[in-house]
Structure formats: structure tokens, C-alpha cells
Structure 1
Amino acid sequence: MSANQVLLRGMTAAELTKKILGNEPLFVLDVRNESDFNDWKIEGNQVQTINVPYFELLEGVDSVLDKIPANQEVLVVCAKEGSSKFVAEQLIEQEISTVSYLVGGMKSWSEHLEPVKIGDLKDGGSIYQFVRIGKGCLSYMVISNGEAAIIDTLRMIDVFENFAKDNNAIIKHTIDTHLHADHISGGRRLAELTGASYWLPPKDADEVVFDYQNLEENADIMVGKTKINIQPIYSPGHTIGSTSLIVDNQYLLSGDILFVKSIGRPDLAGKAEDWVGDLRNTLYNRYKQLSDDLLVLPAHFGKSTELGEGGKVVARLGDLYRDNPGLNIQDETQFRKAVTENLPPQPNAYKEIRQTNMGKITPSDEEQREMEIGPNRCAIHDN
């Protein structure tokens, strides 16, 4: 075995996540094409990243040696893994010893989920947030007295199955706050595997081809013998059916209506002009009637700066009304302009993702991975 083989090591997405959440310094050399890098990259408060496409390094890595800081851990990243291993081996030959490559590449980074405990429930039980750090998606699990409900379930359902099992909980409900356009929901498939009830807002389900429970304001969803109530609140705007949830009178699961630093976009079904009034009414009227002390738990985050202690993405509702730019546009005309003009690009393959979540198409696992590659882009801006 050569020295290179001995020294070259891979860093898993889980290990990388722990470094980012722990604010450990890391230098990332991303060798994907420039367009892919500009679309979506690894970010963190202590992460420094440069992009040098792989084809520029085929003849050697001399051109990047002076860009790599001394005495700092280096992670080489590519789409799938192979190119980063090749470049990492060359760096080791140049006596840069603290080098690793990202195992599984950006595909594995896109799929990693990190469970983070948000807090306890009043009559027993807990609520957990699952941070899909590479894509900015957030799922939730409410556990009480041996039962679990999962909200905005992501495609990697084995993570939720295993977590519930480890916590001695049976999955009773899977709930989607709306018909997602940026990622493929795992809610229906997980419900089918576990015998749980799958809940979906009926106003988002006109075209679905499967059975579901109506997620409406009069719906009564209980988790556990202690009756931890999940109270649906109709909150249209991102979609016409968007429905928020209040858990245990403590937590507001806002779906894609309200984020920590922004608000939801109304255009992913091609109906921005129709839905902008609903969005404003939800944010400026319906949510205003709720307690300022509710802790807002959104379905997405935009940048790593929104990650709090331990990776939590959470904010008090009253604080968001003070600090969130999207909640402070008093002029209705200006609000309409802000949420319909100069929006970020729409999520990759969002039309196909919507079709998948309706049950109209059934792409393979690999096709689903490709459809989801890239950022979520569910907010009107990323500030």
C-alpha cells in the first residue's frame, strides 16, 4: 500500500455537518464546473471555499497550491466523488497532509439529515428538527407516549423510521404542510410502509392520484396518550392550500409561508398574481392573531447564517415581526412587487417534482436524486 493510499481519507456528509455546526474552520476546494458551483455550494460560518474546475487540474495542482492556507484542514469536493479523490491524491503528493475528499460527493451532501432536538412538550414528549443542511430543507418529528408524527417528511424515509424506532415510537401520522415543489416528499411512502395516516391540504390536492386525509382547520391530529394537539391553520400564499401547524401551543410550523430571514414565494405553481393577496393576508393578518411567543419552525432555510445553536433553525414570532424584512412592507403595492418581481430562479426540476408529489409520475431513485440537486429557492430572497 502506497503512502498516498494510507494518508488519503474520506469525510462523510455526517462528519462534515458536525464540523459546520460546531463552527470548525475548514477550507473547501470545489472542483465541479463553475456553473454548478455558482448554483449551489457548501457553506458554513467557518468555511472558506474556492472553485477550480477539475479539468484545470488534470495536469497537476501547482496552480492552486498558493491558494490553500497553511495548517488548515482541506476538503476536496466534486459531484459524485471520483474527481475529488484524484485531486486530493495530488495534493497529498505535494505534502499537504490534512486533505480529505467528500464521500459520495455533493449527492451525499444533498441527502444528509441531521436530527436536532428543539424542545420538550408540556405533557411529555419532544419535538425534533431534521436539518437537510446541504439543501436547506427542514422536517419535524413530534414524539409523545410512544407515538410519532412527522411533518414535511423528506425523501430519505429510512432516517425517520430509524429515529422513531430508536426512540421507541410508532409513526402514526405523516403530514405535508403543502404540495412541495423543491423536493420530493417521503410522507406518502412512509405512511404506506408504517400504516400511518398521510395528511395533505385538499386545496393543494386537486390533481393527486392517491388517497389522503384532509389537512384542514377542523382536523384533529393527536400524538400520544397525553393528547399533544397539532392544530392546523389555513395559511395560503406559497400555495393555495398551505396550512401551518401549531404544536402544543408552543411551536408554529410555518411550512414555506414564513422563514427566519424571509417569506415564501407565491409563484411555484405559476399563480403569483393570484396568490400574492393570500400571502399578504396570511402574514399580515392571520399570523398577527397568533401569540408572539410561538416559536416559528419553518420548512426551509436559505443560508448557513440562519443555523443557530446546535444547528437549530427557529425564531420567536414576535421577533420576526420586528426583524424579518418580509413582514415589514406596509405598502401593499410594494409588497406585491417584492414577492412577484426579481425573484431567485425557480427550484431545479420543480415541475417534475410537483408531478411526482401528485403521484402522476414515478421516477427512479437515481432520477429523484438528480431532480433534487441544488438549493431549495422557496423564499423571495436569501438575505
Structure 2
Amino acid sequence: MTTATIQKMTAKEVTNKILNNEDLFILDVRNESDFNDWKIEGQSVHVINIPYFDLLDDVNPALEQIPEDTAVLVVCAKEGSSKMVAEQLAESGKSNVYYLENGMKSWSEYLEPVKVANLSSGGELYQFVRIGKGCLSYMVLSNGEAAIIDSNRMIDQYEAFMKEKGVKLTHTIDTHLHADHISGGRALAQKYGAKYHLPPKDATEVTFEYEKLEEGKDILVGNEAIVVHPIYSPGHTIGSTSFLIDNKYLLTGDILFVESIGRPDLAGLAEDWVSDLRETLYSRYKNLSENLIVLPAHFGKITELGKGGLVSGRLGDLYRENPGLNIHSEDEFRKTVTENLPPQPNAYQEIRQTNMGKMNPNEEEQREMEIGPNRCAVHDK
């Protein structure tokens, strides 16, 4: 009998393969509905789905679809099933067999830090790409201080990065009350004695103290005064707020994405907020410099990842190429953002309640609430 020789592959290693456009063949052994809802994607990724239970007695159906000289990564929800299938493949003579360490759970939670730019005052701006979930968060560094914008709940990864950079957290900021993922902003602020900022119109039901985001009330990071300007920009939520950093970078939250626009229905007020969304996209943002670099809080498609994994776009280019910015009829715009929307995010009501401080789910419950893709955009399918 052949001795099974399999290796594990981490979410970081998978991410790096995708960002480097390396070929990757994946056998996903989750059930078909989970696979169709959410899977690992990339421009050089080839993925097939054969449920675990269909391979219990015989892995030949998988071997028949895996190219002979190609390495294969077996993926499941938490690791166990993929490891067993990987062992069976190796025992059948297949070489270069890997399994995803901690399964799609780890894929959902991994953050890849990508440098956006050096800032004019000597600081730095980083984007954290949550590639398995489509969430984007940001860290501004200056003179030993840090601010984190739209933090995810996996605060240990931000902590490790700050430790590496030798900086102290002074501010955490959420552009709006999130509905697709649990914010780590409050937890980070409490742990490090930082200030946690929220738009007051999104915070009418929160159960905790916070700093109000108000236009003209700058947030300073470091002694060199890297300035973050709140710009009131309702639409996705009634309090959605954008930021200008270094007069070059426009952090748009979930209002504007690279290839789509934000949906206004996650608080049950789509009809009420449509006009706000249009006003922000077609007037407020239109009056800004077209040379600003848009940095959104989410991406919907792997094609939105640019060099090194950075998700960004020049505002002027977005006004030419983004379908959501080119709906000239107000009636057609209203129809687009209120009808035929993709399914709402998994457990979005519970996530909103958690971000308000009204629910306190444990770590495993939080993980289950977030499983699956983000669905914050109008045009994502």
C-alpha cells in the first residue's frame, strides 16, 4: 500500500498564489449548494466540486478530473473532510496533494496587508484585503501612531502588523454600521485605549460610548497631522461617511466600489435612501477631483484586485467605466438599486445587532454569522 504523503497549504499561501497569478487546481468537497454560494476564485484558479460523500468509497471520480501532472488542493469547510480525501488521493498514487489548513473557515478570515502608498507627511497607508470575504479595511501609520478604518473582527492580524511596525493604536473608525461583517473597531479601541468613531446617524441604537464622525472634525494620526476628512455621504446607510486621506485617497466605505455601487436595502429602507444614494454618487462625489484614488470597503469580484492585490480605482475612470455611475434616468436608477438585487448577506440582521452592541455572540457564532460572500453591492452576481 502506498504511504499517503500530503501537505497542508495555508490561506496566506493560497492568497499569494492567486495574487501572483499562479496556476492552482482545487477540488472542493463541500456540498453543491455551499460551493455554488461561495468558493475560492482567481484568474488562474481551476476549481471542481465533488461532494465528500460522493468520494467516501471511491476517489476515482476525482482522479478522472484532475490532470495527471498537476498539483491539487483539496478544500472543505473546516479541514477534516479535505484531509481525508487528500489522503485517499495520495494512497491512490496521486502526487502533489495538498489540503487547505482549517478549510474555508481560514479562507474567510485571512487578511493580506497591501501597501497603498507613502503619504506626503512621511506616513504610510495600507489596505487589508480579506480575499475570501471581499472585505477591505485600512490602516494609516504616522509617527508611531495608527488608525484603522472598517476593521474586521480578526483583530489579532492587525495587532501583529502594528507590533511589526512599532506603532500604537489611537483611533478606530467605521465608515458606517456594517451589515455583512462584525466590526473589530470597538474591541480594538477598548483593548488599546483608542477612540472608536461612528457616524451618529448610524449609531442611534448602539449601547456603547463612541466618538461622533462629523464633517470638518478632522482625525489626526501622529504628530505630522495626517488628516482624515469625513465627508457626509448617505446612501448605503443613512450615516455612511467617506474620508479623504492626504488629499489623494477617497475611502468610500460601501457607497462606491470599483465595478459597482452600494445597495441601500440592508436596513429595510431602500425606497427611502435611493435619492440619498444618487445624490452622493451623482453630485457629492462628482464635485470631487477626478484624480482621487477610490479605496472602497469591499470588492465583489476577483477581477477588481489589481497589482499586488490592491483594490482601487481613479474616480474619473470610475465615472466612465462603472455601470452604477452611468444610469442617467432617475427612474431607472431607482429600479436598479431596489429591484433584482442579489441575496442579502448571511445573518445580516444579527450582524447589525452585534455591531450595535445588542448581541454578544461567541467566536464560533460570529464565524457562522459571517460565512459566505459579501453582498453589499448592487451589481455583484
Q: What is aligned with 1:65?
A: 63
Deviations 1:256-315 (A, max 9, x none): 000000000000000000000000000000001111111000000011111100000011
Q: What is aligned with 2:227?
A: 229
1:309 aligned residue (289, 296, 307):
307
1:248 matched to 2:236? The reply is: no
Shift in Å, 1:2: 7.5
SS in 2 for 1:320: helix
TM-score normalised to structure 2 length: 0.99
Identity of aligned residues (%): 70
Distance 2:2 2:135 in 1: 41
Q: What is aligned with 1:322?
A: 320
Q: What is aligned with 2:257?
A: 259
Shift in Å, 1:72: 1.7
Q: What is aligned with 1:366?
A: 364
Shift in Å, 1:218: 2.6
**Equivalent position amino acid for 2:15 in 1:** T
Deviations 1:210-256 (A, max 9, x none): 00000110322011111110000000000000000000101000000
Shift in Å, 1:169: 1.0
1:201 aligned residue (199, 203, 211):
199
**Equivalent position amino acid for 1:3 in 2:** T
Q: What is aligned with 1:127?
A: 125
TM-score normalised to structure 1 length: 0.98
Distance 2:326 2:226 in 1: 33
The answer to whether the 8 Å contact 1:110/1:134 transfers is yes
Distance 1:176 1:2 in 2: 54
Distance 2:345 2:31 in 1: 19
SS in 2 for 1:138: strand
After TM superposition, the structure 1 = structure 2 runs for residues 158-237 of structure 1, keeping only pairs within 5 Å, are 158-237=156-235
1:269 matched to 2:306? The reply is: no
The answer to whether the 8 Å contact 1:25/1:73 transfers is no
Moved over 2 A (4+): none
Q: What is aligned with 1:290?
A: 288
Distance 2:61 2:163 in 1: 50
Structure 1 alignment gaps of length 5 or more: none
**Equivalent position amino acid for 2:224 in 1:** T
1:144 matched to 2:147? The reply is: no
The answer to whether the 8 Å contact 1:75/1:101 transfers is yes
Distance 1:71 1:381 in 2: 38
**Equivalent position amino acid for 1:77 in 2:** V
Q: What is aligned with 1:336?
A: 334
Distance 1:303 1:213 in 2: 33
SS in 1 for 2:153: coil
Q: What is aligned with 1:3?
A: 3
Q: CA RMSD in A?
A: 1.0
Distance 1:149 1:29 in 2: 39
The answer to whether the 8 Å contact 2:248/2:293 transfers is yes
Q: What is aligned with 1:106?
A: 104
Deviations 1:86-120 (A, max 9, x none): 11111112221011000000001100000000111
Shift in Å, 1:330: 0.5
2:25 aligned residue (4, 11, 27):
27
The answer to whether the 8 Å contact 1:175/1:198 transfers is yes
Shift in Å, 1:70: 2.5
Distance 2:258 2:10 in 1: 28
The answer to whether the 8 Å contact 1:32/1:78 transfers is yes
Q: What is aligned with 2:38?
A: 40
Distance 2:89 2:350 in 1: 40
Shift in Å, 1:382: 1.9
**Equivalent position amino acid for 2:314 in 1:** R
Distance 2:209 2:121 in 1: 32
Distance 1:94 1:302 in 2: 38
Distance 2:76 2:164 in 1: 33
Distance 2:114 2:327 in 1: 33
Q: What is aligned with 1:80?
A: 78
Shift in Å, 1:367: 0.3
SS in 2 for 1:37: helix
Shift in Å, 1:3: 2.3
Count of aligned pairs between the two proteins: 381
Structure 2 alignment gaps of length 5 or more: none
Q: Which moved more, 1:213-222 or 1:328-337?
A: 213-222
The answer to whether the 8 Å contact 1:177/1:243 transfers is yes
SS in 2 for 1:3: coil
**Equivalent position amino acid for 2:3 in 1:** A
The answer to whether the 8 Å contact 2:354/2:361 transfers is yes
**Equivalent position amino acid for 1:81 in 2:** E
